[in-house]
Amino acid sequence: MELYYVLSALIVLSSLFSYINARFIKMPSTVGVMMIAMIVSIALVIFGNLVPETQSRLTSFVKSINLHDLLMGAMLNFLLFAGALHIRINDLKEQRFAIIIFSSVSVVLSTFVVGILLYIILILFNFPISFIECLIFGALISPTDPIAVLGVLKNAKVPRSIEIKVAGESLFNDGVAVVLFIALIGIAKNQGELTISAPIFIWHLVKEVLGGLIMGVLLGITASRSMKRINSYNVEVMITLAVVMGGSSFVAGLGFSGPLAMVMAGLVIGNYGRRRALSELSRDYLDKFWELIDEIMNAILFLLIGLQLLIIPVKDIKHFWLIGLISILIVLTARFFSIWIPTKIIHFKEKFTKKTIAILVWGGLRGGVSVALALSLDESLNKNLFVVITFFVVVFSIFVQGMSIARIAKHRKGDSIS
């Protein structure tokens, strides 16, 4: 019953904050819910003595939720499937080369740029930690968050070609980032000794990524062919639920990337299945169902991010706030170089203008994935430091970058790329 009560509390709080936002604040749903949750958290921290029982209960509730397991083990699969379901494969084909480069090479580049710059800054602040730990932070903060990106781009009116690049990159880059993150933690826990060879690391990466992609295609085709043989939107929706809930667990059990499998399954069902297997009525029900799931999951996730302020010690925020602010600049700098360098070295079909690169850099939002990975760190790896600076980066990313990306896109009129 504990799980039921946790989900009930999350739904009630998400609904309440979503109502307040829709009725009074009128900001984009994810941003509004997160802002209200942060305000409530700050108010409880400041006025905790006046409502000690309420603060204690809410803090205990937030601490009882393992955000890493909840997001990486369940919610991410739902959100990636829902996002991929509405993306047209033809759009991805047109931008496939850029998406592949930005979701792989750019993530690795960003990891090392962030790691190097943070390492230098921490030395200047007389807070020396190992270089490998700085690289771990680089790995967890470098991938753009599909949940944040897809949520913001809906209303941003970014040019279509750029929207597909950013959305496609965010859907596919988690596999590379998570494998890199896990490998670096393995090295750090062995006192910095390189315990895995390059061929083994590359094989592990290729196996997880390619295995996830292939299994996702197989799941999508199997589900689509099953739906083609019936004409019942209820059963068809249940089949897609089975793909996400059962398919992701099965793929993860094989040692492949569950999130990448859900992206491919969503793309196959949203394109091949939509054309060949679904009636117009079934398409309508399927779209509305997954749009609702997407909205609910987003509201819950950004509610949890906002409430994380309750469990971050105030002393850590006071101690690390300046490093957190500087880390925002570090992450943006790394994002710029991870986009700019490939456009200068690799020959793309289209020209990347300065304004196009600016949108790609500013539109690379960080969100729940980074927070979940930071919270999964051991105390021995300077968890408190990385949680605080991750929170600074994510909050800036969602509020400042997310709220201003549409304005930046408008200033791009007259650019040569549409």
Cβ-based burial of 85 (10 A; exposed 0-12, middle 13-18, buried ≥19): buried
* Residue 260, pLDDT above cutoff 50: yes
- Judge contact between 104 and 111, C-beta under 8 A: no
For 198-218, the pLDDT digits (tens) are 676 677 777 888 899 999 999
Mean pLDDT, the chain, rounded, equals 87
pLDDT for the residue 362: 93
pTM of the model: 0.86
Instruction: Return the amino acid letter for 208.
Output: E
Q: What is the mean pLDDT of residues 131-149?
A: 89
pLDDT for the residue 283: 92
Please tell me the distance from the alpha carbon of residue 413 to that of residue 418, in angstroms, as a whole number: 9
- What residue ranges do the domains of the chain occupy? 2-410
**Which of the four CATH numbers 3.90.180.10, 1.20.1530.20, 1.10.760.10, 3.40.50.1000 does domain 2-410 have?**
1.20.1530.20
For 73-109, the pLDDT digits (tens) are 888 899 889 989 988 888 888 888 889 999 989 999 9
* Residue 192, pLDDT above cutoff 80: no
The pLDDT-based confidence of 191 (bands split at 50, 70, 90) is low
The pLDDT-based confidence of 416 (bands split at 50, 70, 90) is very low
pLDDT for the residue 194: 47
Please tell me the distance from the alpha carbon of residue 309 to that of residue 317, in angstroms, as a whole number: 10
* Residue 43, pLDDT above cutoff 60: yes
* Residue 70, pLDDT above cutoff 70: yes
At a CB cut-off of 8 Å and minimum separation 6, what does 407 contact?
Answer: none
